[in-house]
Amino acid sequence: MIRWFAIVSLLQIVAFWKILGRMGFPPWLAIMASLPLVNLIVLYYVAVTPWPRDAASSGPAGGATGSGDANF
């Protein structure tokens, strides 16, 4: 039973590490996300903070990317 818990935890850490890295967050949050109850805090942190990757890709005009949404 403990062996399966360790395998699932390792797979979860690897998945969170890759996902958080792609989103622009520090990948070490994946280790915290594997702890019970702390994973809820990490989830809410990721949900409510602006994503660093989005902030880095925003244009100089206050985030307007030229997608055509504001052009009528």
Question: What's the pTM value of the predicted model, to 2 decimals?
Answer: 0.59
Angle at 13 between CA 26 and CA 15, to 5 degrees: 85
d(CA 28, CA 61): 32
Task: Find how far residue 67's CA is from the centre of its chain.
Answer: 24
pLDDT in tens, the chain (72 residues): 889 888 888 888 898 899 888 888 888 888 888 788 888 888 898 888 887 777 777 655 555 555 555 554
